[in-house]
Amino acid sequence: MDKSWTQKQVGQFIIHNTVLGKGQYATVYQAFLQNGTPVAAKTIIKDQILQSCQGDQQLYDKQVEQIRRQIGIQRKVKHPFIIDFYDVKETPKNILFFLRILRWRGS
């Protein structure tokens, strides 16, 4: 996602341009359900996956399919030690996971 935005609506989610974390392929943004519930929006940029595959379309397709399989598994899993999965949206440029935000309480 480009840096020229402050918030975007994707389905029932409102994504703010506040980065919570960043990895090789994904950036996690602060987001909210329309009712105000805070969530995390993990955004995977498809072009970055393609670049890491050095333009190999077959390898890229395999990587994206693996992400889709992981989504299918995460949708089914319900466990107190696994982050709740709200939804996934796919656009031509991104794959967006919407996850429950965990608050660290410390010890």
Binding residues for ATP: 46
H helix runs in 26-104, sequence order: 46-52, 57-76
Q: Can you say which residues are annotated as belonging to the binding site?
A: 46
**Closest to 37 in 3D by CA, of 57, 64, 12, 55:** 12
Spatial neighbors of 30 by CB under 8 A, at least 6 apart, are 15, 16, 18, 20, 38, 40, 41
